[in-house]
Amino acid sequence: MGFKEVLESKKFVVTAEIGPMKGTDVQETLEDAELIKGKVDAINVTDLQSSVMRLGSMAVCHLLKDHGIDPIFQMTCRDRNRLALQSDLLSAWVLGIRNVLALTGDYPTVGDHPQAMPVFDLDSVILLKVISRLNEGFDMAGNQLKGATDFFSGAVVNPGADTEAALEMQIIKMEKKIEAGARFFQTQGIFDLELFEKFMKRIEGFKAPVIGGVILLKSAGMARFMNKNVAGVFVPEPLIKEMEEAKDKVKTSIEIAARLIKGMKDICQGVHIMAIGWEKKIPMVLKEVGL
Amino acid sequence: MMIVFEQKPFEEILGYLINDKSIFILRCKGCARVNQANAESDLMDMKGRIEERGIGITGSAIKGLLCMKAKSVLEELSETIGNPTSLLIMACGLGVQSVAEATHKIVHPACNSFVDKEILELGKREYRCRTCGDCVLEFTGGICPLTVCSKGLLNGPCGGNSLGKCEVSREIDCGWVLIFERMKKLGRLKEFMSFLEPKDYRKIQKKKIS
Ligand code: SF4
Ligand code: SF4
């Protein structure tokens, strides 16, 4: 069963995330993927994450597909105008990619080519509409396609937005995204299940399933760094302490992730594991949860 | 226009003058945005350094608003300008372009132009209106998303805002938070939810297109 079918059958899905390398050496990426193959329903491939130039999402998605893994093609509006975005969507479809995740994208200045021209010709809501349109067999300009796409498209939402205004806007934007064609949501990393549950209550009745994000903590320092620098991620003090006092950091990290995932089973319809370099540890996390 | 200019490195300017025997230097006295106090000393400094390198100077002048008045300025100077092999223009990009338009001589730029530095640092929010040809202020509480959001997003904020500040710089407000708060105060969240269509960049294009 592909990712879409698992989600539509209302089963609890598991997705993971891979960030392509800087360069052409894909061996490690494929090893990581091979290791989690069969244990996850799909793997997201990031699109020049944090605005750092690297191998593209489409190529890696295609390689994953060849290895029997259902990829989720992440696509940001940062680097391509509407011509390139649409063309890349057609290309991805032809290469066998079936799932797309539409994102705004970070500003270029956060990455390693801060001189780059920021494009943002479209935004994530418009991009979702465009995907829906391509699925209907038309491009943005209304021209008919010879051969349509049939993407399963999703978007992101950030339940940890740090002000009430930001959270309200997240919810409004989520509604707009659903209207534009988003059929699933993946969230930013969640560390506070109570807050997440409250968020899920607020969006009760929304027609798209939510897949909760889980980030593998590597150290207390990493947690503090994220609290300071990553919008929408907040690691509560007790968890930071737990990591700080851990003798075996890997073991504790896996325990924390497993706890979060178990908690999410009653709250949302899946988990999205962001291992950030610890991809090889994903099977251990899933074993701990019993998935 | 919120343009400011700053002198190019001298060696770069010298490189431009490699085939020149003599030049005429024209310094823009400026407009409200340009530091006028330094016009005289900048020019003296430039003259001195160029002469030091053995390039002749047929004359120089300081004139205001070169961007708009280049043609009349050159007419006025026709007597004094002499016969230089080129003109060196100490002005913003607009000034240099207007002079180039008004003469057949070679024109060298002596300066780099920027958007007002403060504004540049404030997340590249150039102007308050980009004259997009399809105004959406009705849906955004009179605050333009194209200019007040660093990414010019039309349908709500990106995930990068934190404590009301923008991802691009924590020094500046997230434009979408400003829009949201205004619309909420006005009781217009329904309008706030409207889907805004992608822009027609033919109307915004900076370059002239036919
Ligand atoms: S939406 Fe913004 S850029 Fe467009 S006309 Fe209105 S104020 Fe100007
Ligand atoms: S943080 Fe706010 S102002 Fe900055 S790019 Fe995102 S939405 Fe726009």
User: How many domains are contained in chain A?
Assistant: 1
Q: Is the CB of B130 under 6 A from ligand 1?
A: yes
Give the residue from chain A lying closest to B145, CA to CA. A123
Ligand nearest to the CA of B144: 1
pLDDT digits (tens, 9 = 90+) for A4-23: 999 999 999 999 999 999 99
Radius of gyration of chain B (CA): 23
Lookup result for tokens 């240099």: B96
- Rounded to an integer, what distance in angstroms lies between the CA atom of residue B115 and that of residue B203? 21
Boundaries of domain holding B89: 3-204
Residues with CB under 6 A from ligand 2: B 149-151, 153, 157-158, 160-161, 166-168, 174-176
CA torsion through residues A21, A25, A31, A33, sign? positive
- Tell me the CA distances in angstroms from B114 to A135, B92, B206, one per residue in order: 44, 8, 15
Strand partners, B106: B86
Residue A234 neighbours by CB under 8 Å, 6+ apart: A160, A162, A191, A192, A227
Residue nearest to atom 4 of ligand 2 (CA): B166
pLDDT score at B116: 61
- DSSP string computed for A96-136: T--EEEEE----GGGSS-TTSPP--SS-HHHHHHHHHHHHT
Question: Which helix (H) or strand (E) is B89 found in, with range?
Answer: strand B86-90
pLDDT at B207 over 70: no
Cβ separation A125–B162 shorter than 8 A: no
Residue pLDDT, tens place only, A219-243: 999 999 999 989 889 999 999 999 9
**How many Å lie between the centroid of ligand 1 and the Cα of residue B112?**
28
3-state SS class at B153: coil
A249 touches chain B (CB under 8 A): no
A190 touches chain B (CB under 8 A): no
B136 at A interface, C-beta within 8 A: no
Is residue B209 in a domain? Answer: no
> Is residue B210 in a domain?
no
CATH code (residue A190): 3.20.20.220
Query: Nearest bound ligand to CA B197?
Result: 1
Using most ligand atoms within 8 A of CB, pick from B127, B132, B154 the residue to mutate for ligand 1.
B132
CATH number of the domain within which B189 lies: 3.40.50
Tens digit of each residue's pLDDT (9 = 90 or more) over A111-164: 999 999 999 999 999 999 999 999 999 999 999 999 999 999 999 999 999 899
Q: Are A67 and A38 in contact (CB under 8 A)?
A: no
B114 CB-side CA count, 13 A: 13
Is B27 inside a domain boundary? yes
Residue with CA closest to ligand 1 atom 5: B135
Atom of ligand 1 nearest to the CA of B144: 2
Model's pTM, two decimal places? 0.85
Give the distance (Å) from ligand 2 centre to CA of residue A68: 38
A196/A282 Cα distance (integer angstroms): 22
pLDDT given for residue B125 in this prediction: 46
ipTM greater than 0.90: yes
B177 and chain A: CB distance < 8 Å anywhere? Answer: yes
For B2-11, the pLDDT digits (tens) are: 567 788 899 9
Task: Please tell me the distance between residue B157's alpha carbon and the centre of ligand 2 in angstroms.
Answer: 6
Query: Residue B121: pLDDT above 60?
Result: no
Cβ–Cβ below 8 Å for A123 and B189: no
Beta strands at B111-115 and B3-7: parallel, antiparallel or unpaired: antiparallel
User: The domain containing residue A90 runs over which residues?
Assistant: 3-289
CA distance B168 to B160: 8
Nearest Cα to Cα of residue A240 among A191, A274, A204: A191
Structure token pair of residue A68: 């029997």
* Interacting residues of B60 by C-beta distance below 8 A, sequence separation 6+: B24, B25, B26, B27, B43, B47
Residue B177: nearest ligand to its CA? 2
In a domain, B126, yes or no: yes
pLDDT of A68 above 70: yes
Tell me if B193 and A176 make a contact (CB, 8 A cut-off): yes
The answer to whether A56 contacts chain B (CB < 8 Å) is no
Phi, psi of B9 (to 5 degrees): -55, 140
For the four alpha carbons of B158, B163, B168 and B173, in that order, the dihedral sign comes to positive
Domain count, chain B: 1
Q: Is residue B40 part of a domain?
A: yes
Q: Tokens representing A25?
A: 């050496």
Helix, strand, or coil here: A46?
coil
115-134 of B, contacting A, C-beta below 8 A:
124
Helix (H, G, I), strand (E, B) or coil at A282: helix
Query: From the DSSP assignment, how many helices (H) and strands (E) are in chain A?
Result: 11, 8
